[in-house]
Amino acid sequence: METDSISKASQNGPTDKDGPLEKKRPEKATVLQQDIGLLSGISLIVGTMIGSGIFISPKSVLLYSGDVGPCLLIWTACGVLATMGRSGALCYAELGTMITKSGAEYSYLMEAFGSLVAYLYSWTTVMVLKPSSFAIITLSFAEYASAPFYPDCTPPLVVIKCLSAAAITVIITGVNCLSVKLASYVQNFFTGAKLIIIIVIVVAGIVLMAQGKTENLSNAFEGSSTSFGAIGLAFYNGLWAYDGWNQLNFITEELKNPYRNLPLAIVIGIPLVTVCYVFVNIAYFTVMTPSELLSSSAVAVTFGDKVLYPVAWIVPLFVAFSTFGSANGSCFTAGRLSYVAGREGHMVKILSYISLKRFTPLPALLFNGILAIFYIIPADINTLINYFSFAQWAFYGLTTLALIVMRFTRKDLDRPVKVPMVIAGIVTLVSCYLVLAPIIDKPEWAYLYCTIFIFSGLILYFPLVYKKANWARKIMRPITMHLQLLMEVVPPEKTE
């Protein structure tokens, strides 16, 4: 939005005995290296998807679906939809191999619909979707981390929110600001932890079923919900647990052989997570009735208390590890969109700057963390999930529509992966359903507020991006200068 006010000054500023710091290591901070292979890509997808959702969402999916049978069907359908599309994993495979730029939806919307739609996406995602997702995950982390200290009741809300805020500000954001390598080590450790607890729950469920614990799985469709909007909300909460598969599209420029590894990682990773999720839910129902599951404040903890006593403490510990790792991954990728949008002039430049000393996107990480804390204050987890999903699915639908549009407007682009048009069409229609169904069934002011917020970005777009008003540059130049000096950050190297 504004010029790189003191880029030259800052880059000639901090020095050591060998000369300017940035002349020694600029590429490490700003040039995207293709060092992520297929296995790492699968790990990123699986590690990001398995976070808080499977330990929080089961209650809401069951609540809106009505009974065990439809609940399990929705979990399976969510996995199929995620692989087929979820605004399309397969559609994203075509988009990611056709447009090999980082930024995921932002880059695709820019290519298909132009600057305005891409800007509205970046505006909504940076200001709402990324920080609200961060807040949701840390709230679930705090709920599970505090549950063992309140064995006979739900942890106080103030405790959950304070612990969530501490995780955001002091630990996760701090780690990601300090070092990319440190954040990567943290992510790898907690990804291993989440896989351990998934295996423990699934194996325990298989053993119980072998012992004949199948009462809750009989007559599984008696209380099925037929409400148009309720089924939509059940999908909202189920698909929240699958969120994260598209993180690979945010780092396409860093992926080795994206034409091969991007679609393969998607096709392998998502079905693997789907199998885990369905078996985890079956395991829950081997020891809990639907009413018991709905009354539990922490589903996995209740499962552990019933099955794993006297070592039930390992469940909340490892679930807290899982959610913490997912929150770390969310924070780790939060600056990527700001980086790409800043490169296009759609965001305040300072958000795409890089720390001279730490080689991390420090301003974007701090900004995301501060916004996440504001989202923690007024809302509970389920409200945030519904709010998040409404806005996210609108842009997911636009992204698959972009795929259809570019089949006609950008025939010149190479398409190593080509998805049948019918899949893109189905996913676009499903996206429309998931946006409209809850609104039609139960209109709420939150949906209107979300829509108003999305289009409020136009107030800034026309003077600051489209017109590039000089007065805005004059205002932002000293602000950018002081923030650069305060945080010791510089603009990323320009790339084509």
Residue 203 pLDDT: 92
Cα–chain-centroid distance for residue 337? 12
Cα separation, 112 vs 346, whole angstroms = 16
Return the structure tokens found at 474: 């004059």
Residues 310-320: what's their mean pLDDT? 83
Higher pLDDT, 495 or 342: 342
pLDDT, averaged across the chain: 78
CB 68 within 8 A of CB 285: yes
Helix (H) or strand (E) holding 126, with range, is none
CATH of domain 38-490: 1.20.1740.10
Q: Where are the chain's structural domains?
A: 38-490
| pLDDT recorded at residue 185 | 77
Phi, psi of 255 (to 5 degrees): -95, 130
Buried b (16+ CB within 10 A) or exposed e, 131-153: bbbbbbbbbbbbbbbbbbeeeee
Element (H, E) at 415: none
DSSP, residue by residue, 159-175: HHHHHHHHIIIIIIHHH
Mean pLDDT of 453-470: 85
Residue 373: pLDDT above 60?
yes
Distance (Å) of CA 310 to CA 150, 304, 306? 17, 9, 10
Segment 258-272 shows an average pLDDT of 78
pLDDT at 5: 47
Structure tokens that stand for 57 in this block: 């969402």
Q: What is the mean pLDDT of residues 346-353?
A: 83
pLDDT band, very low/low/confident/very high, at 393 (cuts 50, 70, 90): confident
| Residue of 389, 266, 334, 324 lying closest to 55 (CA atoms) | 324
Is 430 or 224 the better-scoring residue by pLDDT? 430
Residue 361 has pLDDT above 60, yes or no: yes
The pLDDT of residue 149 is 83
Given pLDDT bands bounded at 50, 70 and 90, which one contains residue 374? confident
pLDDT band at 57 (very low <50, low <70, confident <90, very high): low
Mean pLDDT check: name the lowest of 60-64, 78-82, 253-257, 357-361: 253-257
What is the tens place of the pLDDT at every residue in 148-187? Answer: 788 777 788 888 899 999 888 778 999 988 887 787 778 7
User: Confidence class of residue 25 from pLDDT cuts 50, 70 and 90?
Assistant: very low
332: which residues sit within 8 A by CB, 6+ positions away?
Answer: 176, 183, 184, 187
pLDDT of 323 over the 50 cut: yes
pLDDT digits (tens, 9 = 90+) for 362-371: 888 888 898 8
Residue 15 confidence (pLDDT): 46
Question: What distances in angstroms separate CA 435 from CA 62, 123, 130, 200, 408, one per listed residue?
Answer: 20, 19, 19, 36, 26
What is the crossing angle of helices 89-98 and 258-287, to 10°? 160
The per-residue pLDDT for 96 is: 76
CB 245 within 8 A of CB 82: yes
Specify the range with the lowest mean pLDDT, choosing from 194-203, 221-230, 236-245, 328-337: 221-230
**Pairwise CA distance, residues 402 & 387, whole Å:** 24
Q: Among candidates 161, 181, 183, which has minimal Cα distance to 171? A: 183
Query: Measured between alpha carbons, how far is residue 358 from residues 18, 83, 173, 389 in Å?
Result: 18, 37, 13, 34
Q: At what angle do helices 53-65 and 314-343 cross, to 10 degrees?
A: 90
- Predicted pLDDT at 10: 44
pLDDT over 70 (residue 198) = yes
> Phi, psi (5° rounding) for residue 36?
-105, 115
Lowest-confidence segment of 194-203, 256-265, 294-303, 376-385 by average pLDDT: 376-385
Q: Residue 17: which pLDDT band, with cuts at 50, 70 and 90?
A: very low
